[in-house]
Structure 1
Amino acid sequence: MQINGNAVEAHSGEFFDIINPATCELIDRVPKGTEDDVEVAVEAASSAFKGWASASPQQRARILYIAAGIVRQRKDELAVLLTREQGKPLAESKNEIEGFAHVLEYYCGLASSSHGDFVPIPQNGYAFTVKKPLGVCAAIIPWNMPALIMAWKIGPALISGNTLVLKPASNTPLTNLTLASILSEAGLPPGVLNIVTGPGNIVGESLVKSPKVKKISFTGEARTGKRVAELAACGMKRVTLELGGSDPMLVCDDADLEAAVLGALRGRFYNCGQTCTAVKRLFVFETVAEKFIKKLEAGIRNLRVGNGMHENIDMGPLNNRRQWEYIKKLVEDVEEKDEGRIVTGGRVPENGVCSKGFFFEPTLVTDVPRESRLLKEEVFGPVLPVVQVKDLDEAIEEANNTCYGLGASLWTKNLDKAHKGCEQLNAGIIWLNQHLKIAPEVPFGGTGQSGIGRENGPDSLSEYLDLKTVMLKT
């Protein structure tokens, strides 16, 4: 763990192993944090708050900008570390590391934009508003995109003048720890950013319960997010919850099928399907379904699966044994219960390269009944169910038949269909003729069981600021 920018041993003296998901080999060991460690980290953040909050926005931005530059310089070595602990191909890891730097640079550009307003009050003087940082904030992040989601949390929190305690996922803390060291190297004062590694039921809960923590930003599964909200409510803390989704992709009869197939391939199998906004349910018009599915099947069969450290790999392993066993059992149930036809994939690869890790073939399933788990659950892995629909009305109805509402994509050349989809699809972000792309310049978040609050974009700064109104009578 890191307190005040320095690596320290946990109070318990215990460690947990970090495993390479492609080989199941031990990479490293990190401290198993305790409630005492969380208290030390929160105290460090609390002590650093006054000095960091009083720094000018330009001073804060300068440090983050320097850090982003160092990250870009060390992109290759950081990508290797990320691939070893997370499993994704090196190209995807490099993209994520660049994303981390880009997010910090984006918030540097917003440093001076968060200010109050002047409000004339007729016959009663005027008023103005002042925005102040909240204080100590906490961030809890997942293992699927550890570097990028770390940036989503620390960017707005730190540029707004808050200090932060971050709990990384137990499977992927190494890249986060290294990035924190780079921020310290760039000049981030001691205590402004602290990391505590350890189990969620101890480190995470202690962070949320801490009376000095004013805001919690959590990304993860819905069940854990509800627990975070429950604990935070006792202290009237602010929360941002990004809880995943079951994103639909709708392919109309007038869509560019070549582009849609490429969108489905990337949207589903990027990061081995372990992305909150991945294509998890695909609805295609009956009139083009046969042609579309054949093209999609061919594309899936051409995906190269293997260790992300090797060249020309399209998809790495699942991140951990729990995910691997879940996906394997899910597909086995589809076959045993006759809940669809597996067109391609559906097996653990038998070649020697994939024999030791948590690999699973990219899988396409058609003829999926509406009650199937493939359509009801958030399937966090490389399995894509396809459902044929008659028209856009049926596609939208089926797409909205979920408790989630994170993202959705619509593929059409027709402006009326595009408008109808944007109006009627229940999702926090809707893509037209694309899927998965998330830019830091725009708000990101969902509805329903996909969470509350928004990350990214200028509005994300308000999540980390208190608004004070001052009334003056003249």
Structure 2
Amino acid sequence: MSFAYPEPKLYIDGEWTAGSSGITRPVFDPATEEEIGRLPVAGAADLDKAVMAASRALPGWRSTPPLKRCDILMKAAALLRERIEEIAWLTTREQGQPIADSKVHILRGIEIIEWDAQEGRRLYGRIIPSEPGLRQMVVREPVGVVAAFAPWNAPVFTPCRKIASALAAGCTLVLKPAEETPASTLALVQTFIDAGVPPGVLNVVFGDPAAISEHLIAAPQVRLVTFTGSVPVGKHLAQLAAREMKPTIMELGGHAPVIICEDADVETAATRIAGTKFRNAGQACLSPTRLYAHRSVYDRFVDQFAALARKIPVGPGEAATTAMGPLANARRLAAVDELVTDAVQRGGRALAGGSRIGNTGYFYAPTVLVDVPEDARILNEEPFGPVAIIARYDDEAEVLARANALPYGLAGYVFTRSAARADKLAGALECGTVGINHLVVSTVGIPFGGVKESGHGREGGVEGIEGYTVSKTVTHLLQ
């Protein structure tokens, strides 16, 4: 099944528009490197219009009863479910991942919308016991206009998180999705429009990322900045926000360690890690990258993991047999190849993959590296690609020191049959999320986010919606 690729546009104050700049930029199919569309670039006038629209719409949306907001979000989720085939096709066409994976991401986004819709009805305050004649209350109010920035690796799921949480909390927003994957996000936005989100409540702009971020963050009407992406960009946006004393939610990059203990089920560990590592061509911030196997199981784990990697079918995402598609753009292809080349030049060995596949499309072979020295770039920089580095360890103190050595702290994983060991290692890993004997750690109803340079704030769960609110204390002297 295939669909026509639509003409991407900006969505500002309830209208689809080509913007005022007259400038466009190409959108490419990463499997063929062919241009499939032209994306309008928002000018300063467009950004001002979007911010003012969100500001004007804020009083009406924040005063909309939570039950009504819930109904609108639930309808958007239902429409997204009805349109999943077309939107999954769009995601695969412009981002590259297999159709089945695109659908999984969308289904997870639907669950997020449904959960946030209901949780928005339960943003409770509290009464604080006090002296006679004095009533003290804490209430939660929407923070206001939100500037939201979403990446290309999950062009439906990540915007679902930001849009649903913001709208459920009573905020309005200006969303800047990724320029590489506009049609997927715009199709998602259309479901919110069709569900009844009023004009101005949700606005979407594209263009020059640096210019847009500087303009939106500096706008006095914007009260919160939320960003999902790389550590360097996150640091830059956080600095811009700090100048304006604006709070931020930063879900940044990772370099997730996996500890395979001597008592682990090696076969299960290898299968589950490989199944997650190479999904979306490794382009996920929570992707397992540094695999530490105990010396007693190292050889067996390496053999099984490398064999699984070599069997992964790589090809265009539309093909039914494809398990891993291309990298999303030429930048990622070059970056991954540079990291692997550096590791091999320093003495590392590629037991699987290690090179580009073909000359057309951004395909890179599922890669397994061993004997990589600690000073190699790939052990210190987020790979964000289909590369796993396996190393052996001898004791828990050693592996924890190596796992925690980097400034990243998003996700970590442990495979063991011992509940006591699992509890100990989970407590010692310096990361925001830990998976024990599995790697599905970002799901509906639970908070997700990092520590150290992997960011702050949380998306998902009660904490996710609360991030779009402010606490107001009211003290009332009764008379």
Contact 1:222–1:449 (Cα < 8 Å) also in 2: yes
Tell me, which stretches of 5 or more residues in structure 1 are unaligned? Answer: none
Kindly indicate whether residue 393 of structure 2 is the aligned counterpart of residue 389 of structure 1. Answer: yes
Task: Give CA deviations for 1:176-195 in whole Å, capped at 9, x if unaligned.
Answer: 11111121011110111000
In structure 2, the residue matched to 1:467 is: 471
**Could you say which residue in structure 2 is the equivalent of 1:98?**
107
2:226 is matched with 217
Does 2:135 align with 1:126? yes
- 1:187 alignment partner in structure 2: 196
Count of aligned positions: 469
The amino acid that maps onto 1:473 is L
**Of 374, 377, 402, the match for 1:398:** 402
Could you say which residue in structure 2 is the equivalent of 1:372?
376
Alignment partner of 1:324 is 2:328: no
What is the root-mean-square deviation in Å for CA atoms of aligned residues?
A: 1.1
1:288-319 residue CA offsets vs partner (Å, 9 max, x unmatched) = 01111111111111100000011121100000
Amino acid at match of 1:437: V
The residue correspondences of 1:147-158 to structure 2 (distance < 5 A) are 147-158=156-167
Equivalent position SS for 1:112 = helix
**Does residue 1:407 correspond to 2:415, yes or no?**
no
1:307-456 equivalences under 5 Å are: 307-338=316-347, 340-350=348-358, 355-456=359-460
Structure 2 residue aligned with 1:257:
266
2:443 counterpart SS class: coil
Amino acid at match of 1:414: S
Deviates more, 1:435-444 or 1:445-454: 435-444
Whether 1:62 and 2:71 are equivalent positions in the alignment is: yes
Q: Tell whether the 8 Å contact from 1:278 to 1:436 is kept in structure 2 after alignment.
A: no
Deviation string 1:14-44 (CA, Å, 9 cap, x unpaired) is 1111100001111111111122211110011
Match for 1:228 among 237, 242, 266? 237
Which residue is 1:32 aligned to?
A: 41
- Detail structure 1 runs of 4+ shifted over 6 Å in the superposition: none
Matched residues in 1 for 2:365 and 2:463: separation? 40
* Secondary structure, counterpart of 2:19 in structure 1: coil
- CA displacement, residues 41-79 of structure 1 (integer Å, 9 cap, x when unaligned): 001111111111110001011111101001101101100
Residue 273 (structure 2) pairs with residue 273 (structure 1): no
SS of equivalent residue, structure 2 residue 31 = coil
8 A contact 2:231–2:253 mirrored in 1: yes
Residue 152 of structure 2 is matched in structure 1 by 143
Partners of 1:205 and 1:18 in 2: how far apart? 23
**Aligned with 1:404: secondary structure?**
coil
Q: Which runs of 5+ in 2 are unaligned?
A: 1-9
Letter of the 1:393 counterpart: A
> 1:124 Cα deviation (Å)?
5.2
Contact 2:277 2:386 in 1 (8 A): yes
Contact 1:116 1:128 in 2 (8 A): yes
Shift of 1:337: 2.9
Which of residues 269, 274, 297 is equivalent to 2:306? Answer: 297
Q: Hey, what does 1:200 align to over in structure 2? A: 209
Q: Kindly indicate whether the alpha-carbon contact (under 8 Å) linking 1:22 and 1:359 is maintained by their aligned counterparts in 2.
A: yes
Residue identity in the other structure for 2:373? P
Identity %: 38
Q: Report the Cα offset of residue 123 of structure 1.
A: 4.0
* TM-score normalised by structure 2 residue count: 0.96
Per the alignment, in what secondary structure is the counterpart of residue 140 of structure 2? strand
C-alpha distance after superposition, 1:106-150 (max 9, x if no partner): 111112100211112034522112221121111001111111110
Contact preservation (8 Å) 2:70, 2:121: no
Residue identity opposite 1:167 in structure 2: K
SS at match of 2:442: coil
What's the TM-score, normalizing by structure 1?
Answer: 0.97
Is the 1:392–1:417 contact (alpha carbons within 8 Å) kept by the matching residues of 2?
A: no
Given that 2:166 and 2:465 are in contact with CA atoms closer than 8 Å, whether structure 1 keeps it comes out as yes
Q: Distance in 2 between matches of 1:325 and 1:460?
A: 35
Q: CA deviation at 1:331?
A: 1.5
Tell me which amino acid in the other structure corresponds to 1:406.
L
Q: Which amino acid aligns with 1:433?
A: N
State whether residues 34 and 202 of structure 1, in contact with CA within 8 Å, keep that contact through their aligned partners in structure 2: no
Q: Secondary structure at the match of 2:344?
A: helix
Greater displacement, 49-58 / 388-397: 388-397
Residues 116, 465 of structure 2: 8 Å contact kept: no
Say which SS state the counterpart of residue 370 (structure 1) adopts: coil
The whole-number CA distance in structure 2 between the counterparts of 1:469 and 1:297 is: 57
Instruction: Tell me by how many angstroms 1:261 deviates.
Output: 0.5
Is the CA contact (8 Å cut-off) linking 2:148 and 2:176 kept in structure 1?
yes
Distance 2:344 2:460 in 1: 41
Contact 1:317/1:360 (CA < 8 Å) preserved in 2? yes
Q: Is the 8 A contact 1:346 1:363 kept in 2?
A: yes
